[in-house]
Amino acid sequence: QVQLQESGPGLVKPSETLSLTCTVSGGSVSSGSYYWSWIRQPPGKGLEWIGYIYYSGSTNYNPSLKSRVTISVDTSKNQFSLKLSSVTAADTAVYYCAREAVAKGYMDVWGKGTTVTVSS
């Protein structure tokens, strides 16, 4: 059973870079069958898709965040990561990593989420 676990700082200062990692267990990020995604949810609000990465390094980002987002993969550690630069209070959210099967489009496995607060 594949499990995903987010990790990273819970507090980030405005204008700095948010960095999170998702560790995959019970499966492999090198599987050619999946994209590895990031989604976020501001407090009391809905879900926003950030983007995904394929094991080869190919990425797809939400245009609304594209200028500030980098998603990378480390197959040796079975992890993938999110970097969001120049953060503001509007980036305060629960950040989820998730798995999306290739040629499917929906997320069938999610991490538990990690809360990131942007504040000085």
Partner 1 sequence: VIWMTQSPSLLSASTGDRVTISCRMSQGISSYLAWYQQKPGKAPELLIYAASTLQSGVPSRFSGSGSGTDFTLTISCLQSEDFATYYCQQYYSFPRTFGQGTKVEIK
Question: Which residues of this protein are in contact with partner 1, per CB under 8 A?
Answer: 46-49, 51, 60-64, 96, 98, 104-108, 110-113
Provide the 8-state DSSP code for 57.
S
Give yes or no for a contact between 83 and 17, defined as CB atoms under 8 angstroms apart. yes
Shortest separation between residue 73's beta carbon and partner 1, angstroms: 19
Tokens of 106: 């929906």
Nearer to partner 1, 14 or 104 (CB): 104
Nearer to partner 1, 16 or 48 (CB): 48
Q: In one letter, which amino acid is 74?
A: D
Shortest separation between residue 39's beta carbon and partner 1, angstroms: 8
- What's the farthest any 2 CA atoms get from each other in the chain? 42
Helix (H, G, I), strand (E, B) or coil at 45: coil
Shortest separation between residue 120's beta carbon and partner 1, angstroms: 26
Closest CA to 109 of 9, 42, 23: 23
Nearer to partner 1, 16 or 49 (CB): 49
Give yes or no for a contact between 22 and 5, defined as CB atoms under 8 angstroms apart. yes
Shortest separation between residue 46's beta carbon and partner 1, angstroms: 5
Nearer to partner 1, 46 or 76 (CB): 46
